[in-house]
Structure 1
Amino acid sequence: MSRSSDSKQQQPPTRRDALVLGAGLAAGIAGLTSVGARAQGAVAPKELRLDHAYYSPTSLVLRRFGWLEEDLAKDGTAVRWVLSAGSNRALEYLNAGSIDIGSTAGLAALLARANGNPIRTPYIFSRPEWTALVVRGDSGIRSLADLKGRRIAATKGTDPYLFLLRALHTVGLKRGDIEHVALQHADGRAALEQGRVDAWAGLDPLMAASELDAGSRLLYRNVGFNTYGFLNVREEFLARHPQTVRRVIAAYERARAWTLANPSDAAKILSEEAKVSLPVALLQVKLRSDFSHPQPSDEHVKALQAAAPILTAEQLVKPGVDLNRTIADLVDTRFAAGLVKA
């Protein structure tokens, strides 16, 4: 099934653009290091805790090469990586103070912020098509309307779950019209392939693996319903250690430039880390990930404004919550200015 014409992604930068970006970032990172946490009395943290996730290929590249550890060691800051299995896990860790920086989908971050999770988003790690509604290859389900009364697996608090709700609304269905089976992403895939659920709101690379390895079929795709990859920071950490956060963003930019210049090698890293085949990883990195718009902007604000009504319609936020205000509080369009080469 093809993507709708109004959901066409913009073309990512060329390999030459990525190499130029990488050269500029090397100088930028050096400048940040010289200022570092010593600037104007800023104090470097003893430890930075951040996540890596299979749905964020650049986080895997950054972790693999140790660029952040090398930079922050100059100020005595250790780096500890924590695996996030989904946006819900990353948001739980952020809310509990278990990590300082975490990777989530944009709409999931908005839902968390609206419900009291004190996070801000100063960087966009990708614009992916990482979720769709998936059925088995031999399923008789052919349309969204056929999902009424069916058992559907989805991980609450994540983009796939919210994608499911938005998709249902397009045909006049609501959450109460299906039987939602709350499973973490990997368990949802297993339940689908074993016939324990009728459909699954998938997440790459698990979704791509189910397609290529198990013959599963994408029932419904809509790249416009896939919200961006948000790199979120606890507000308290951002206030205390802004220079460290800037250096994390600079390191992510280095990983982004490397990924754009070496997509096949980035896919190989994903394949090794997520333990999926190389064709699965290539599908995710080359065909379903757009790394070209890392600077938070009106583009991301408008995407959340378009998606936000589902949170109210399905009573996922408290009555009276001003979602436009919440979006403004969440998306930081200024912090990364000067660090990002769009």
Structure 2
Amino acid sequence: MKRRTLIQWAAGSSALATVSALPSLAQAAEAPKDIRLDYAYYNPSSLVIRRFGWLEEEFKKDGIGVNWVLSAGSNRALEYLNGNSIDIGSSAGLAAVLSKANGNPIRTPYIFSRPEWTALLVPKNSPIQTLADLKGKKIAATKGTDPYLFLLRALHTVGLKRSDIEHVSLQHADGKAALEQGRVDAWAGLDPLMAASELGAGSRLLYRNVAFNTYGFLNVREDFLQRHPNEVRRVLAVYERARQWIQGNTRAAAQILSEEAKVSLEVALLQLKVRTDFTQPQPGTQHIQALQAASPILLDEALVRPGTNVQKVITDLVDTQFAQSVIRRG
């Protein structure tokens, strides 16, 4: 009797376990009602996709809606992801590392560009000539973004830290205005606003360093990626369509950027033709190594908790396998 009872109990337990697993399996198989993602002026592919309605076209037959949200900077995109306001959002690579290190549940399966989208600018008649001259000066930068982290890394090259300057926390567009109005001494800019300030107001690039510009990361909430991997792959396939189109139609893409960001075509062409590389969409070793080289600034400036294993954060963030099947070579 005891043996029979034990067998019956085990069978019942197994059935209960199977039943309890069913909701998660059903959830994984169920398509989302809509896909929420951002578009941003620093992510030209998102502007092209949105302009042509390619995602709406892709998901229309499945009854899946597409909801777009404008991100004014990496900080906003990452806030939206962390707050579950969007499922897919674009940011700079190091900004994504910082956000994930502080608890944002994201992964990066796709690189939308390799840009030189930030530098340090001063007004055209500024007496400031070197990074060392920035000591004690007012510098505008948007916290949680590549320009802000670029600023800190640049300061470290001449032995300065954040405490050696007066940081003025402004969103990118407000930083541009503050620089041009003389309310700050320097600004860590972001294209296309940076290019617009150069060409429109004569602002001078004080310090450039392509290596300090981290890649354009397309981030996905981990729970969304786990529940809807097929839909994420389809989004990435559309991103691939946009990447290929931009490479073959740079001037037309610049026209879209010009209209969306309300900048001149000359500014948009400077951003797209001169400062943006669209040839490396597959996350890989080079992206991990670039982030590993950049990551010490996060600990040095106490932007993450002491003892944080930033190297593990980076390897947990960068997904080097997911997008392989959808990336088009050439």
TM-score (norm 1): 0.88
Distance, in Å, in 2 between the alignment partners of 1:105 and 1:331 is 12
Distance, in Å, in 2 between the alignment partners of 1:43 and 1:335 is 20
The 10-residue stretch of structure 1 (41-50 or 259-268) with the greater mean CA deviation from structure 2: 41-50
1:272-318 per-position Cα deviation (integer Å, ceiling 9, x unaligned): 00000000000001000000000000010000000000000000000
Q: What residue number does 2:109 align with?
A: 122
Check if 1:137 corresponds to 2:113. no
Q: What residue number does 2:287 align with?
A: 300
Q: What residue number does 1:93 align with?
A: 80
Distance, in Å, in 1 between the alignment partners of 2:28 and 2:276 is 39
Q: What residue number does 2:219 align with?
A: 232
Q: What residue number does 1:199 align with?
A: 186
Distance, in Å, in 2 between the alignment partners of 1:238 and 1:225 is 29
Deviation, 1:232, is 0.1
Say which SS state the counterpart of residue 127 (structure 2) adopts. Answer: coil
1:286 is aligned with what amino acid?
K
CA 1:243–1:144: 2 relative to 1, 3 Å: same
8 Å Cα contact 2:28/2:227 also seen in 1: no
Question: Which of 271, 274, 277 is equivalent to 2:264?
Answer: 277
Check if 1:57 corresponds to 2:18. no
Question: Which of 222, 227, 230 is equivalent to 2:209?
Answer: 222
Between the aligned residues of both structures, percent identity stands at 74
Say which SS state the counterpart of residue 199 (structure 2) adopts. Answer: helix
2:226 is aligned with what amino acid?
A
Q: What residue number does 2:136 align with?
A: 149
Say which SS state the counterpart of residue 61 (structure 1) adopts. Answer: helix
2:160 is aligned with what amino acid?
L
Check if 1:254 corresponds to 2:241. yes
Distance, in Å, in 2 between the alignment partners of 1:42 and 1:257 is 31
Ranked by relative contact order (alpha carbons within 8 Å, sequence separation 6 or more), the top structure is 1
Structure 1: segments with no counterpart, 5+ residues:
1-39
Distance, in Å, in 2 between the alignment partners of 1:201 and 1:272 is 24
Structure 1 stretches of at least 4 aligned residues deviating more than 3 Å after TM superposition: none
Q: What residue number does 2:21 align with?
A: none
Distance, in Å, in 1 between the alignment partners of 2:206 and 2:61 is 50
Question: Which of 165, 172, 175 is equivalent to 1:188?
Answer: 175
8 Å Cα contact 2:111/2:215 also seen in 1: yes
Distance, in Å, in 2 between the alignment partners of 1:41 and 1:114 is 27
Deviation, 1:320, is 1.2
Q: What residue number does 2:198 align with?
A: 211
Distance, in Å, in 2 between the alignment partners of 1:72 and 1:216 is 44
Deviation, 1:42, is 2.4
Deviation, 1:41, is 7.4
Q: What residue number does 1:6 align with?
A: none
Q: How many residue pairs were aligned?
A: 304
Structure 2: segments with no counterpart, 5+ residues:
1-26
Q: What residue number does 1:317 align with?
A: 304
1:96-119 per-position Cα deviation (integer Å, ceiling 9, x unaligned): 000000000000000000000000
Distance, in Å, in 2 between the alignment partners of 1:264 and 1:174 is 40
Structural RMSD (CA): 1.2
Q: What residue number does 2:326 align with?
A: 339
Deviation, 1:337, is 1.0
TM-score (norm 2): 0.91
Check if 1:177 corresponds to 2:164. yes
Deviation, 1:338, is 1.5
Distance, in Å, in 2 between the alignment partners of 1:341 and 1:146 is 46
Say which SS state the counterpart of residue 286 (structure 2) adopts. Answer: helix
Deviation, 1:74, is 1.4
Check if 1:78 corresponds to 2:65. yes
8 Å Cα contact 2:90/2:218 also seen in 1: yes
Say which SS state the counterpart of residue 66 (structure 2) adopts. Answer: strand
1:193-212 per-position Cα deviation (integer Å, ceiling 9, x unaligned): 00000000000000000000
Q: For the pair shown, which has the larger CA radius of gyration, 1 or 2?
A: 2
